[in-house]
């Protein structure tokens, strides 16, 4: 038992497991070309995983495009939604003349509350 002791071993420093009998999943390399800095980034993915068409360039942090047969893949961004602002959503519900009328009504209420109602302004 004394020959199997862990005397002098630092906790967490080394794994006591071996890679014996472990089979790794197949891997595939994909190359990405950055249009900004024109450098290539090689990424390794599992063979079962679907590689994304775009990846962040590790040199300049811009978007790099995957190369297939030494040519960049054409990425279709037409289905992406454009972020709508509060103003855009408001204009979907009301027209500009309606908004002008509502604004005038609210301004009138505020002016009357303050006692500085302006006639003809």
Q: From first to last of its 121 residues, what are the pLDDT tens digits of the chain?
A: 556 655 555 666 677 777 788 888 899 999 999 989 989 989 999 999 898 999 999 889 899 999 988 888 888 777 778 888 999 999 999 999 999 999 999 999 999 988 865 555 5
C-beta of residue 51 within 8 angstroms of C-beta of residue 45:
yes
Give dist(CA 72, CA 38) in Å, integer: 12
- How far apart, in whole angstroms, are the C-alpha atoms of residue 99 and residue 106? 11
| Closest C-alpha to 36, from 14, 8, 56 | 56
Is residue 4 helix, strand or coil? helix
Sorted by where each begins, the domain ranges of the chain are: 27-72, 83-116
Contact (CB, 8 A) for 57 and 63: yes
SS (H, E, C) 75-114: CCCCCCCCCCCHHHHHHHHCCHHHHHHHHHHHHHHHHHHH
What pLDDT does 94 receive? 94
pTM of the predicted model as reported, rounded to 2 decimal places: 0.51
CATH, range 27-72: 2.20.28.270
């Amino acid at each position: 038992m004394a020959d199997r002791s862990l005397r002098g071993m630092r906790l967490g420093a080394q794994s006591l497991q071996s890679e014996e009998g472990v089979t790794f999943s197949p891997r595939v390399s994909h190359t990405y070309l950055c249009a900004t800095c024109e450098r290539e980034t090689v990424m390794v993915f599992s063979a079962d995983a679907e590689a994304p068409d775009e990846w962040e360039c590790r040199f300049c942090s811009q978007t790099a495009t995957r190369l297939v047969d030494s040519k960049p893949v054409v990425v279709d961004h037409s289905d992406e939604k454009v972020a709508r602002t509060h103003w855009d959503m408001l204009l979907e519900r009301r027209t500009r003349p309606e908004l002008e009328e509502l604004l005038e009504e609210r301004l009138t209420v505020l002016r009357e509350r303050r006692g500085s109602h302006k006639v003809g302004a």
